[in-house]
Amino acid sequence: MQTLEINDNGSLVEMIQLSLSRAGFFDSAVDGIFGPVTQRAVVDFQNSFGLPADGIVGINTWDKLSVFIKGYCYKSLGFKLIPTNISYSYELVKNLTDGLKKRYSFITADKIGSSTMGKDLPLLVIGNGNKNLFITAAFHANEWITIPIILKFAEEYLEAYSKGKTIAGQKAEFLFNNVTLHIAPLVNPDGVDLVTGALQQGEFYANAVKISNDFKDIPFPSGWKANILGTDLNLQFPARWKTAKAIKYAQGFSQPAPRDFVGFAPLETNEAKAIYNYTAANSFDMILAYHTQGKEIYWKFADFLPHKSKEIAESLSCASGYELEITPDFAANAGYKDWFIQTFNKPGYTIEAGIGESPLPLSQFDEIYSANEHLIVRAMKETIERI
Ligand SMILES: [Zn+2]
């Protein structure tokens, strides 16, 4: 963990403020700015926990604070784990997946590979069913709001299962016993850290700044979708990749860019390769790839029509209120769901959550979440009943 102190800012400072607030030392607004109020709270926290009270969050203070992110110390600390009011970072996701595993020891918390910068690509596996559903989020860096959508779903589902309750009108136990849910909540950790300000120094950061200088009309870092090397991870899959390349190069994306660069070859990025390998190693009955924005569901690739894929798309649309869309031909290439449909002939959907310019504001979160809680539960039910 990097050391943070007065005048720092970004999603890691938000994480500190959240944990101080959960611990009872901070009651101001979480704003991601390490100012005097935050420093005072850190000092109080350090005094209370017998740490040197220097107001600087180094490794020992992080360690104590992380208890309040993981929400567990020998037993659950009671509060809801998944925050929906702060920006996300790799460190936050790691703490939260650890925390979910501690509270619900029967789940699997693992990784599917490593990012360009060597961060884990986290994985959660929940349930005992014969049907397998894979949900991915944050392929695109500035679409990081998709992370708390999926993690909050995991938390609500696990709580409902543990208490014998329902989620979106379905018995959680029925879903749990019939579907194995695989979740990769953070496909692009380096890119998300760049967008939310957890990454503000070092050679990868400097390289990203250099890349963005050639694309002045794309705001930096908020317009960044790619991985940290400037390759768009959802244009990396071997499904008409050459077509995608021709189109994107013609649009001016012929070199590493904040978005829309297909790479020099398919699957050359660690992150896309990890998703490819994990998908190839499992027999998924369905995949949902979470993106923002548009309140739309992209359900088709070329002329492929997997069994019941249209009916299931209509069902997901009814559950969420999101419109069904067919990707225009010039854009329907080299995406993860395109490759999944082409290769496995099973239903795969890109969910474009929320509406507006990415990164979407957290003020939309509750509305987005409720639509997608219904959508995911419906997807689980459809894998049981129709596939
Ligand atoms: Zn996207």
- Is residue 329 over pLDDT 80? no
Whether 263 is covered by a domain: the verdict is no
Task: Tell me the per-residue pLDDT of 14-26, one tens digit each, with 9 for 90 and over.
Answer: 999 999 999 999 9
Our CA angle for 169, 171, 177, nearest 5°, is: 140
Q: Is 352 a catalytic residue?
A: yes
Question: What pLDDT score was predicted for residue 327?
Answer: 74
Whether 35 is covered by a domain: the verdict is yes
Task: Tell me the per-residue pLDDT of 153-163, one tens digit each, with 9 for 90 and over.
Answer: 999 999 999 99
Calculate what percentage of the chain has a pLDDT beyond 90. Answer: 97
Q: Does one domain contain both 155 and 53?
A: no
Whether 205 is covered by a domain: the verdict is no
Active site residue: 352, 367, 373, 385, which one? Answer: 352
Domain boundary among 24, 58, 79: 79
Q: Does one domain contain both 290 and 368?
A: yes
Report the C-alpha gap between 34 and 47 in whole angstroms. 18
- The parent domain of residue 47 ranges over 11-79
Our CA angle for 249, 255, 257, nearest 5°, is: 100
Q: Name the DSSP class of 57.
A: B
Q: Does one domain contain both 150 and 62?
A: no
Q: Name the DSSP class of 231.
A: -
Residue 367 phi, psi dihedral angles, 5° rounding: -65, -45
Task: Tell me the per-residue pLDDT of 111-146, one tens digit each, with 9 for 90 and over.
Answer: 999 999 999 999 999 999 999 999 999 999 999 999
| CATH number of the domain bearing residue 337 | 3.40.630.10
Compute the distance from residue 287 Cα to the ligand 1 centre, in Å.
15
Compute the distance from residue 26 Cα to the ligand 1 centre, in Å.
35
Given the structure tokens 């499992």, which residue do they identify?
Answer: 282
Question: What pLDDT score was predicted for residue 328?
Answer: 74
Q: What is the DSSP string of 310-353?
A: HHHHHHHHHHH-PEEEPPPTTT-SS-HHHHHHHHH-S-EEEEEE
| CATH number of the domain bearing residue 75 | 1.10.101.10
Compute the distance from residue 363 Cα to the ligand 1 centre, in Å.
19
Compute the distance from residue 96 Cα to the ligand 1 centre, in Å.
23
Compute the distance from residue 247 Cα to the ligand 1 centre, in Å.
17
Question: What pLDDT score was predicted for residue 387?
Answer: 80
Structural domain count, the chain: 2
- Is residue 311 over pLDDT 80? yes
Among 76-80, 101-105, 211-215, the range scoring the smallest mean pLDDT is 76-80
Q: Does one domain contain both 171 and 307?
A: yes
Q: Does one domain contain both 286 and 341?
A: yes
Confidence class for position 34, pLDDT limits 50, 70, 90: very high
Report the C-alpha gap between 360 and 18 in whole angstroms. 20
Closest CA relative to residue 290, chosen from 372, 214, 351, 203: 351
Instruction: Give the 3-state secondary structure of residue 210.
Output: helix
Question: What pLDDT score was predicted for residue 330?
Answer: 67
Whether 212 is covered by a domain: the verdict is no
Whether 258 is covered by a domain: the verdict is no
Q: Does one domain contain both 149 and 283?
A: yes
Alpha carbon 253 to its chain's center: 25
Compute the distance from residue 72 Cα to the ligand 1 centre, in Å.
33
Task: Tell me the per-residue pLDDT of 231-272, one tens digit each, with 9 for 90 and over.
Answer: 999 999 999 999 999 999 999 999 999 999 999 999 999 999
Whether 214 is covered by a domain: the verdict is no
Provide the token pair at 386: 């129709």
Q: Does one domain contain both 329 and 379?
A: yes
Task: Tell me the per-residue pLDDT of 273-288, one tens digit each, with 9 for 90 and over.
Answer: 999 999 999 999 999 9
Q: Does one domain contain both 381 and 281?
A: yes
Provide the token pair at 170: 């379905």
Residue 326: how many CB atoms within 10 A of its CB? 10
Residue 54: how many CB atoms within 10 A of its CB? 13
pTM greater than the 0.85 cutoff = yes
Compute the distance from residue 86 Cα to the ligand 1 centre, in Å.
20
Compute the distance from residue 85 Cα to the ligand 1 centre, in Å.
21
Q: Does one domain contain both 291 and 354?
A: yes
Q: Name the DSSP class of 33.
A: B
Q: Does one domain contain both 151 and 284?
A: yes
Whether 62 is covered by a domain: the verdict is yes
Q: Does one domain contain both 67 and 145?
A: no
Q: Does one domain contain both 291 and 370?
A: yes
Mean pLDDT calculated for residue range 353-358: 97
Quick check: 102 and 70 in contact, CB under 8 A?
Answer: yes
Compute the distance from residue 189 Cα to the ligand 1 centre, in Å.
14
Compute the distance from residue 123 Cα to the ligand 1 centre, in Å.
19
Whether 239 is covered by a domain: the verdict is no
Compute the distance from residue 239 Cα to the ligand 1 centre, in Å.
17
Question: What pLDDT score was predicted for residue 65?
Answer: 97
Instruction: Name the average pLDDT for the chain.
Output: 97
